[in-house]
Amino acid sequence: MTDIAITLTVNGVVRQVEVPGRRLLSDCLRHDLGLTGTHVGCEHGVCGCCTVLLDGEPVRSCLTFAVTVDGHDITTVEGLAAPDGAMSPVQRAFTECHGLQCGFCTPGFLCTVTALLRDNPSPTGEEVLEGISGNLCRCTGYQNIVKSVHRAAEIMAEES
């Protein structure tokens, strides 16, 4: 049960780390790489707080072993803003529409919604609900989150 050397490209930066096989990707990001933007709520796939992008696709980092994704690309919430720090359209929409209060669920929502709008730039109301149905928020209420998703789609359309 020796540690295993893996290489991950996280937010465009190549990172090398040695982890035991049982290290969850969420813990690897937070503890080994110091990227605490990825939040951990339930550790069994239900809350969605830990969602990150794996080769561009949203996945639960608490249901992924870091060793399994050796050699792959990860984007965390820290990687969504532009290199100069300018917030992405999804991040701006969440601030504008009060899509967050305590912010605990927000990293998971931002990653999920970023991928959702990339694949479907103008989702219907129902598609938005289906897209975010796997993410739980304990404090904002979903009205403003849904509003944020539609607003993000608008901003992206205006800016494209």
Ligand X SMILES: Cc1cc2nc3c(=O)[nH]c(=O)nc-3n(C[C@H](O)[C@H](O)[C@H](O)COP(=O)(O)OP(=O)(O)OC[C@H]3O[C@@H](n4cnc5c(N)ncnc54)[C@H](O)[C@@H]3O)c2cc1C
Q: What are the residues binding other proteins (CB under 8 A)? A: 1, 4, 20-22, 24, 27, 43-45, 48, 51, 54, 57-60, 62-65, 67-68, 70, 112, 129-131, 133-134
Query: At which residue do the structure tokens 């103008």 appear?
Result: 122
Residues 41-100 that bind ligand X (CB under 6 A): 45-46
Q: How far is the CB of 130 from other proteins (least distance, A)?
A: 7
x/- letters, 3..32, toward ligand X (CB under 6 A): ------------------------------
The span from the CA of 120 to the CA of 81, in Å, is: 20
Q: What's 49's DSSP letter? A: T
Judged by CB under 6 A, which of 140, 151, 152, 153 binds ligand FES?
Answer: 140
Residues 112-131 that bind ligand X (CB under 6 A): none
- Residue closest to 47 by CA, chosen among 105, 116, 91: 105
Q: What's 65's DSSP letter? A: B
The span from the CA of 148 to the CA of 8, in Å, is: 31
